[in-house]
A and B are shown apart, each in its own frame.
Chain A
Amino acid sequence: MQITLEHLTKAFPSRNRKEKAEVIAVNDFTYEIPDGTLTGLLGPSGCGKSTTLNLICGLETPTSGKIYFGTDDVTHLPPEARGVGIVFQNYALYPHLTVLENILFPLQNLRGQEKLPKNVMLDKAKEAAGLVQIEQLLDRRPKELSGGQQQRVAIARALVKRPRVLLLDEPLSNLDARLRLQTREEIRRIQRETGITTVFVTHDQEEAMSISDQIVVMKDGVVQQIGQPQRVYDDPVNLFVTKFLGTPPVNVFEGEIRSGQLYLGQDAVLPFAAPDKNVYVGIRPEGFVPSETGKLACAVQAVEVMGRDTSVVCTHPAAQARIRAIISAENVIQGNTVRFDLKPYKVHVFDRDSEVRIYGN
């Protein structure tokens, strides 16, 4: 099911009663989520990603704009009429019901013509349980399950009615690191197997990058960039997106474009064909190549050997913080100073005022 968001806007009344000002949680969001894909809504807390999810779900109604599932306008439909399934961060499993009863719950809500015979409901519930591989847990109660198992139950419950759209709110943040890795692959697998258009919300960029077909990066209610994870990572449109994606994070420098050269402090690091101005420069950790003749000279603070890679922590007068460079472990760093050449496609340049990306010609 293709989901179309058209100029979607949601404003909340301000919490401060004296001020009439509104808080705009989602501002003019337009996008078509392709059928059968997994989309990650990504951003820091308060960026409007959860509100967007609630709008798609129908738990909130937009102030303006439209939402279509396929060609159906669902903007003003209540959630129960939209055919969506949702999984909350805390899973919201009914603690007094067994796993099977939890999964059966949505089916038992069907009334009138839609009402199913008992054995059909049972088959459907078991099928959903099979999909998330929890058939052996059906008689347990939620508190007897691990976090990962609880989440599978919640997904099974959301899937049992074969929703047109599956929504996941911070699906991994209540799990420990090891389970998180395993579960995100699981979510990917389930989504592939069912082919249900899935939207999930996360503040963890790594999580979003690793499993999404496309990511939507948001900040203060405004969509910053949409695209395939690798594309967004390689070609960010502004400083915020650059900083938000990638671990370790991008290294930011205060730089300057002067007569076709990009300067970081006194070092002219790259040719850059653009009008002269002050800029921010973001360099990915993997963009540094140690070289005797390198243009960027940094003072080494620490060298952390991590096996496959080596992480060099160093300083540079133009850098906003300590620099972290990830280089191949074959390089040997000696002495107090290291010189780097830069991979041009790992270096992004931004206007100092607007923080919008500047491209060299």
Chain B
Amino acid sequence: MRQRNLKGWLYLLPALLFLGVFMVYPLIDVMVYSVEEGYNSASQTYFGVGLYNFSYVLHDPYFLQAVKNTLLLVIITVPLSTALALLISVQLSSITKLKELYQTIFFLPYVTNTLAVGLVFMILFKKTPYSDGMINALIHLFGGESVDFIDGPYWAKMLVMCLYTIWVVMPFKILILTSALASVNPDYYKVARVDATPKWRIFTKITLPMISPMIFYLVITGFIGAFKAYSDEVALFGTNLNAAGMNTIVGYVYDMLYGDSGGYPSYASAAALILFAIVLTITVINLLVSRRHVTYS
């Protein structure tokens, strides 16, 4: 028995080492950092223990801007992308012929390097003195005023950011919803047809409840994912997100750690913990709401 115990732990040793050093220890450490006031990374000293770091972060205009940007991104993209994915998945499920081709195309953005494709979005939306860019050319075509979506007004930048985020998150949602739809037993639809159920009622009373666990799963992961937005923004607006006014909470954490204004792991830790608290709260709320509404699972 002893030997068997030993063997089990031996097989787990690599995983335990990696997780211990790079997940468990950092987790404890980050909490320590967050309460060490005036930490100096060069001398590795600090003045005292307290909540000053949190207070600093919460009063930092860059952080507040980042929170505003992130919240806007979450509130706009999560419902929009989920609804759009639902629409597309339902349509996709209703065809048979080209289904696989469409499915494959729709999944394509999932495997792309978001940094790289973000640059394509950037040049599509950017306006320079030499060129209007593709999107502005289209806007002209329909008689609108051209706007610089990358270095221009806040709403324009936010728009591009949301559009790109939606483009990036759609493949996963479409995939999950399509397979959820496919797993609904066709007998339900047959019975509904025999009962003369109108199409809309079939959708709202049968299809939606049946796939509601998956929809809630997507909403929850969507929230978490959108709160962690960062690299898409770098792709669109460059690494100096504070200057562009388009920073996100995660971006703020990294900027505090490293980069032009970096070198403050204490502030970064405090900001990261605030983010974690927000995400945790929203996830718990989501779960509570879903428990009330998703009766079937």
Contacts and interface: CB of A to CB of B under 8 A. Distances in A.
Interface of A: 57-59, 78-81, 84-86, 88, 90, 92, 94-97, 105-106, 108-111, 141, 157, 161
B197 interface: yes
A51 to B, nearest CB: 13
6 contacts: A78-B193, A79-B193, A81-B196, A86-B191, A88-B190, A92-B187
Contacts of B11: none
Given A94-B209, A96-B209, A96-B295, A85 B187 contact: no
Given A105-B205, A141-B295, A92 B188 contact: yes
B194 A86 contact: yes
A109 B296 contact: no
A161 B194 CA distance: 11
Given A95-B296, A105-B205, A88 B187 contact: yes
A311 B198 CA distance: 57
Nearest to B209: A96
Contacts of A80: 193-197
A79 B194 contact: yes
B195 A92 contact: no
Contacts of A84: 194
B194 A85 contact: yes
Contact of A86 (B185, B190, B196, B212): B190
B226 interface: no
Given A59-B193, A94-B206, A96-B210, A111 B187 contact: no
A57 B194 contact: yes
A309 to B, nearest CB: 41
A92 B185 contact: yes
Given A59-B190, A109-B201, 12 more contacts: A85-B194, A86-B190, A92-B188, A94-B206, A94-B209, A95-B210, A96-B210, A96-B296, A97-B209, A106-B196, A106-B197, A108-B201
A32 B221 CA distance: 58
Nearest to B188: A92
B198 A109 contact: yes
Contacts of A109: 195-198, 201
A138 to B, nearest CB: 16
A96 B294 CA distance: 8
B197 A105 contact: yes
A85 B194 CA distance: 7
Please provide the 10 A-B residue pairs with the shortest distance between their CB atoms, ordered closest to farther.
Answer: A80-B196, A106-B195, A92-B187, A96-B296, A96-B209, A88-B187, A79-B194, A95-B296, A92-B191, A109-B197
A14 B267 CA distance: 68
Nearest to A114: B196
A80 B202 CA distance: 13
A262 to B, nearest CB: 50
Contacts of A79: 190, 193-194, 196
Contacts of A108: 201
A59 B187 contact: no
Interface string B114-144: 0000000000000000000000000000000
A157 B196 CA distance: 13
A277 B185 CA distance: 53
Given A88-B187, A90-B185, A95-B296, A59 B194 contact: yes
Given A92-B187, A92-B188, A92-B190, A105 B195 contact: yes
Contacts of B185: 90, 92
Contacts of B187: 88, 90, 92
Interface centre among B185, B187, B195, B206 (most CB of A within 10 A): B195
